[in-house]
A and B are shown apart, each in its own frame.
Chain A
């Protein structure tokens, strides 16, 4: 199975540990790009290398897959999009994304259908959900514009900065494509 695939003017590929550290660090060093997860931004480049290794290990066990989204022509990193907590019994997985400023709705409207099609058609999953800090704009608006359904808000799911964080829950089913 080829895990790298095109999406209109963009390509999605699995990261390479020895090549993508600097670009990933540039993406994840901004707090605003990870606030919705929620998570602290990276503060030194070595964290990107560590993250790349973790991604590779999680992919080896097919627990998660993260793609780097690049422009097809300039090969600039626009986003990291991944699925994790893949549950092969329940045919479900959790989506996560970190978006650069350039990864706006038109970009995601090209990229996300390809990601979802890959998950449903190639991986045989049925349900993709995203959990993100409740009130995370513009992420929640983007999800709704992409066709995700709001399912509710799970209270006190994460302890972050001495606070309990509620997580909004969105989903997209294979049957939502019809």
Chain B
């Protein structure tokens, strides 16, 4: 069973995590983007993360992609708090300093397009945390996101310190799926097994 597809975007690709990625992911988490996020010290956590990436995708709780440019991992795209019945998920991109905003944007859009097409998700959220690169907010609005809330002290940046969070949402203007059994009527309800599904983007490529 294959749950997380490999997808190409202009200048790179996103693909499922594998155990071979542990060293590259460890490098990525030596330069955490989020305020207060600790530098990762234990590679074993990343082995567990690769396991989780499969389990979460299989149970439709989340999806993680390695973001590659020139065959080097320089970031990750993650979908989390995925609510299949509510047709929404939250997104996050972690990247090394060399990951450009254009690459970040293209990877994010590719993953959103896949989840909208395959799983009918129509509401994507992204939380920008005070202290992150301001240009990410512009990138999000350029992609179609709109600021929906400024959440005071919603992120813990230290033992006794907190940061504001700006929540963005991108709600697609598209029809909701028709109710049906998983896998029934593959054009409107293709199920989660990419190998079995009739899907132009997310199957074997």
Q: Which of B49-57, B110-118, B152-160, B188-196 contacts A (4 or more CB under 8 A)?
A: B152-160
The distance from the CB of A120 to the nearest CB of chain B, in whole angstroms, is 12
Q: Does A18 contact B (CB under 8 A)?
A: no
Report yes or no: A159 in contact with B86, Cβ–Cβ below 8 A. Answer: yes
Report yes or no: B88 in contact with A126, Cβ–Cβ below 8 A. Answer: no
The distance from the CB of A143 to the nearest CB of chain B, in whole angstroms, is 14
Q: Does B4 contact A (CB under 8 A)?
A: no
Report yes or no: A149 in contact with B152, Cβ–Cβ below 8 A. Answer: yes
| Alpha-carbon distance between A156 and B122 when the two chains are bound, in angstroms | 9
Q: Which residues in chain A, 121-174, are within 8 Å of chain B measured between CB atoms?
A: 126-127, 129, 149, 151-159, 164, 169, 171, 173
The distance from the CB of A110 to the nearest CB of chain B, in whole angstroms, is 25
Q: Does B8 contact A (CB under 8 A)?
A: no
| Alpha-carbon distance between A153 and B155 when the two chains are bound, in angstroms | 18
| Alpha-carbon distance between A91 and B156 when the two chains are bound, in angstroms | 8
Q: Does A1 contact B (CB under 8 A)?
A: no
- Known contacts: A159-B85, A159-B86, A159-B87. The answer to whether A154 contacts B154 by CB under 8 A is no
Q: Does A102 contact B (CB under 8 A)?
A: no
Q: Does A92 contact B (CB under 8 A)?
A: yes
Q: Which residues in chain B, 140-158, are within 8 Å of chain A measured between CB atoms?
A: 147-156
- Known contacts: A156-B88, A157-B86, A158-B86. The answer to whether A173 contacts B169 by CB under 8 A is no
Q: Does B123 contact A (CB under 8 A)?
A: yes
* CB-nearest residue of chain A to B172: A156
Report yes or no: B150 in contact with A151, Cβ–Cβ below 8 A. Answer: yes
The distance from the CB of B137 to the nearest CB of chain A, in whole angstroms, is 14
Q: How many pairs of residues, A versus B, come closer than 8 Å at their CB atoms?
A: 62
Report yes or no: B87 in contact with A154, Cβ–Cβ below 8 A. Answer: no
* CB-nearest residue of chain B to A168: B149
Contact of A154 among B122, B148, B155, B156 (CB under 8 A): B148
| Alpha-carbon distance between A152 and B54 when the two chains are bound, in angstroms | 34
List the A side residues contacting B88 at CB < 8 Å: 156-157
| Alpha-carbon distance between A64 and B82 when the two chains are bound, in angstroms | 21
* CB-nearest residue of chain B to A149: B152
The distance from the CB of B38 to the nearest CB of chain A, in whole angstroms, is 12
Contact of B148 among A91, A152, A171, A173 (CB under 8 A): A152
| Alpha-carbon distance between A126 and B157 when the two chains are bound, in angstroms | 13
What are the nearest 5 A-B pairs in CB distance?
A152-B149, A156-B123, A151-B149, A90-B156, A169-B149
| Chain A positions near chain B (C-beta within 8 angstroms) | 89-92, 126-127, 129, 149, 151-159, 164, 169, 171, 173, 175
Q: A152-B150, A159-B86 are in contact. List 9 more A-B contacts (CB 8 A).
A: A149-B152, A151-B152, A153-B148, A154-B149, A154-B169, A156-B171, A159-B87, A171-B154, A173-B152
Sampled A-B contacts (25; CB under 8 Å)? A89-B156, A91-B162, A92-B154, A127-B152, A127-B153, A127-B154, A127-B162, A129-B151, A152-B147, A152-B149, A152-B150, A153-B148, A153-B149, A154-B169, A155-B148, A156-B122, A156-B123, A157-B88, A157-B123, A158-B86, A159-B87, A169-B149, A169-B151, A171-B152, A171-B154
